Chain A
Amino acid sequence: MLYREAGQFKTSYAADQQVFPIRQDRIGVVALLVIAFVGIPLFASEYWFSAILIPFLIFALAALGLNVLTGYAGQLSLGSAAFMAVGAYAAYNFQLRVEGIPFLVSFALAGLTAAGVGILFGLPSLRIKGFYLAVATLAAQFFIVWCLTKFPWLSNNSSSGVISTQKLILFGRELNTPVEKYLLVLSIVVVMAMAAKNMVRSSTGRAWMAVRDMDVAASVIGIKLMPTKLLAFAVSSFYCGVAGALYAFAYLGSVEPDGFSLEMSFRILFMIIIGGVGSIMGSFLGAAFILLLPIFLDVALPFIANLLGLPFASATVSHIQITVFGALIMFFLIVEPHGLARLWQIAKEKLRLWPFPH
């Protein structure tokens, strides 16, 4: 009933090409942004910011980066965490070695550095596809982590490559409360998500999807495969790089190369599989799901055990967590390969008619 587009007519192509052509969606998004920027800072506790909201936004950004590459351009990558590491260490070094560089500039440069590295490891994609490409990006994952441990210069000669990030200063103000960091991360993520949405709805995105769906036809239409694929690697790594810089500066404050492990790359991959491959919103849904599920199980499992009067060990929780996690990934791969974003879309289509049968 509420979600009706009856009476909303488009009279120009500009109106038809809006990101949110339906009025209710526009209201929803504005409401969401108001809640995120105003509501949450007023009510959420410090724990929520530093343990849930900030990592959620950062991982959503990384997932968005991987989604550009894998979901839109169809190039499978297992190196997302490594590109995050490049971003984190690049931002650290720019802060360290360039006198008085503003933070936002160093984050952008960190993204560009990651983009450069991404292009380099994207080169094999010109010859190989699918699983073989995934193995090639696996090389990036191991090589970059090895490099960061091997060359002390990159971590300013600290032992085993651990870096402690500089204080976050923005426009002459030090950001030290979680709320301020949250607002910084949120602003960056919102701007970058909008940029990604604009890219994928224009000819850049169409070229990516064309290469993904049928590369021979794409090249016959006039799409140059090499620049298109490399651009996808560059943009994707840029996003991962900025996410990595935020991960180090706004979330943990101190990172080591081994933290950006293959396991983290897989987590980002699971986020887009569960959230929705080839969907901007899916990246956010997937990140939320994967980060919140363990927290939810932590709370819910002891409660359920109590109800049933079962003996309870904390080791069991983590075992059950892993089991549920694996089962859910299999469930999504089989039942809904397009993930939560697709479920949301189906729900919207149903809502258009609800409560009438047709």
Chain B
Amino acid sequence: MSKKIGDVILDLQNISLRFGGVKALTDISFDVRQHEIRAIIGPNGAGKSSMLNVINGVYHPQEGRIYWHGEERKRMEPHMAARQNIARTFQNIALFKGMTVLDNIMTGRITKMKSNFIEHALWFGRARKEELEHRCKVEEVIDFLEIQHIRKTPVGRLPYGLQKRVELARALAAEPSMLLLDEPMAGMNVEEKQDMCRFILDVNDQFGTTIVLIEHDMGVVMDISDRVVVLDYGKKIGDGVPDEVKNNEDVIKAYLGAGH
């Protein structure tokens, strides 16, 4: 692979997150480099999703520093993450059930629209122009993910695998520089997983998007990711390229139990 992995763009230092007395994350540090595919793995309840929620501002860690493109990040609300070009998908699909596929994906571009509700009400000038411009961009995403045939279907009627794909489309429509994927392949069959892997690699390759990914399928993780960080009970127990992690004693212990 001739990938150009760049500088560190996201640096998390000594992150600790507590909910009351429960420690979700303890003193975790790791970084993400531009253009890489960074996997976060670990057994259930290890704090992987919490980690993503910290990155895009849904949770606020009590301790630790976060640097985004070298600048320290102050307390951030989720909607600000979108404005910093961080997009994400959810573990349990979080699509807007009552809307069509097209509308769901159009929603992904909402931060890029400038017209206000009065212009919308009058359907005049900027509102009309923007709607068409963004429709073109959205159609590119639809073509890329091969979901042309379901454009006008309400997402609630789609099978699970396609819903996952629509959710990825919605995230991609925002043209993110960093994409957070929370178990993009959970519950899929082999073909769907292959498709999804292909899309993730293509996104990374063609758009240069940095990807942070949580996944349980070890085959997939070891195959597509550049570096892997391993969490267990909210602590970091391993970090490195897939081969290093695979042979790490602590990681083996966490997955297979001691004295295997």
| A interface residue numbers (CB < 8 A to B) | 13-14, 17, 195-196, 198-199, 202-207, 209-210, 212-214, 216-225, 231, 235, 278
Contacts and interface: CB of A to CB of B under 8 A. Distances in A.
B108 A221 contact: yes
A267 to B, nearest CB: 25
B135 A13 contact: yes
Given A17-B135, A214-B94, A217-B90, A204 B117 contact: yes
B170 A221 contact: yes
Given A206-B107, A221-B174, A223-B110, A214 B95 contact: yes
Interface in B68-119: 77-79, 81-83, 87-88, 90, 94-99, 103, 106-108, 110-111, 113, 115-117
Interface in B116-159: 116-117, 120-123, 127, 130-132, 135-136, 139
Interface in B36-60: 56, 58
Contact of B117 (A199, A214, A217, A223): A199
A338 to B, nearest CB: 10
Nearest to A13: B135
B93 to A, nearest CB: 9
Contacts of B135: 13, 17
Nearest to A195: B121
A209 B77 contact: no
Contacts of A210: 96, 99, 107, 110
Given A203-B110, A209-B103, A219 B77 contact: yes
B123 A202 contact: yes
Contacts of A216: 58, 78, 94
A217 B174 CA distance: 14
A152 to B, nearest CB: 36
A209 B98 contact: yes
A19 to B, nearest CB: 9
Contacts of A212: 96, 98
A223 B77 CA distance: 11
Given A198-B122, A204-B116, A222-B82, 20 more contacts: A13-B135, A198-B120, A202-B127, A203-B120, A205-B120, A209-B96, A210-B99, A212-B96, A213-B96, A213-B99, A217-B94, A220-B88, A221-B79, A221-B87, A221-B170, A221-B174, A222-B111, A223-B79, A223-B107, A235-B117
Given A199-B121, A213-B97, A214-B95, A222 B110 contact: yes
Contacts of B79: 219-225
Contacts of A202: 115, 120, 123, 127, 131
Contact of A206 (B90, B106, B115): B106
Contacts of B97: 213-214
B106 A13 contact: no
Nearest to A224: B79
Contacts of B123: 198, 202
A217 B19 CA distance: 21
A214 B96 contact: yes
A205 B127 CA distance: 13
A26 B79 CA distance: 39
Contacts of B83: 222
B59 to A, nearest CB: 12
Contacts of A14: 132
B174 A206 contact: no
B131 A17 contact: yes
A209 B90 contact: no
B29 to A, nearest CB: 24
A195 B119 CA distance: 10
A156 B136 CA distance: 56
18 contacts: A13-B135, A198-B120, A198-B121, A198-B127, A202-B131, A203-B115, A204-B116, A206-B103, A209-B99, A214-B94, A217-B90, A219-B79, A220-B81, A220-B82, A221-B82, A221-B170, A222-B83, A222-B110
A329 B83 CA distance: 44
Nearest to A19: B123
Contact of A13 (B99, B121, B132): B132
B106 to A, nearest CB: 6
